[in-house]
């Protein structure tokens, strides 16, 4: 039986405990998960792609079944290049589903051999998103329970806070 590889793409700006929750469960389903940081120059990010890759690597704790990389362009094309049979997407609330459903249908149209697997985040992570984390931190709120230590430290450095 061949290795079942999944691609878990995203911006991960910064990586949150919600991202890690989805990744942990995806690695229970697939033999290998490639976490792919999207490099999108038209999107304004707080962290560079290289910084986001480092945050992910620091946060996955050496999981041998997880690889971290970057990509530009179509997700299904990158999935094909890494040999993925599936794209993993995390869902928090029903509004996530509408956008993800559209992307899934387009991806299926572009490459019907690559399937999308939706994983619901754990209840404790439903309210967590990278954008909310950045905003709460920027306004002085505590975020340590919502992000791994590497992300918390990176946010402190970016905003020059103790």
Question: What is the spatial distance between Cα 93 and Cα 106, in angstroms, rounded to a whole number?
Answer: 21
Work out the angle at residue 148's Cα, subtended by the Cα atoms of residues 13 and 136, and round it to the nearest 5 degrees: 60
Choose the catalytic residue: 32, 89, 92, 134: 92
Cα of 134 vs its chain's centroid, Å: 16
92 is catalytic: yes
**Largest pairwise CA distance in the chain:** 51
Return the H-helix or E-strand segment holding 59: helix 49-59
Choose the catalytic residue: 17, 19, 32, 89: 19
Choose the catalytic residue: 43, 95, 109, 142: 43
Q: What are the structure tokens assigned to 126, written together?
A: 């439903």
How many helices, marked H, and strands, marked E, lie in the chain? 6, 5
Query: Which class for 73: exposed (0-12), middle (13-18), buried (19 or more C-beta within 10 A)?
Result: exposed
158 is catalytic: no
151 is catalytic: no
Work out the angle at residue 132's Cα, subtended by the Cα atoms of residues 101 and 55, and round it to the nearest 5 degrees: 90
Choose the catalytic residue: 11, 27, 59, 130: 130
Residues with active-site annotation = 19, 43, 92, 130
């Amino acid at each position: 039986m061949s290795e079942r590889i999944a691609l878990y793409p995203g911006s991960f700006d910064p990586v949150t405990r919600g991202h890690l929750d989805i990744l942990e469960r995806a690695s229970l389903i697939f033999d290998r998960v490639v976490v792919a940081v999207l490099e999108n120059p038209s999107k304004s990010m707080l962290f560079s792609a290289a910084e986001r890759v480092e945050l992910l690597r620091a946060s996955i704790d050496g999981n041998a079944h997880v690889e971290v990389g970057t990509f530009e362009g179509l997700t299904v094309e990158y999935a094909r290049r890494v040999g993925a049979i599936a794209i993993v997407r995390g869902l928090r609330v029903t509004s996530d589903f509408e956008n993800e459903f559209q992307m899934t249908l387009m991806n299926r149209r572009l490459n019907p051999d690559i399937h999308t697997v939706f994983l619901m985040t754990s209840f404790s992570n439903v309210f967590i998103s990278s954008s909310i984390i950045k905003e709460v931190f920027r306004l002085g709120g505590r975020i340590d329970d919502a992000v791994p230590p590497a992300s918390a430290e990176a946010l402190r450095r970016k905003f020059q806070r103790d």
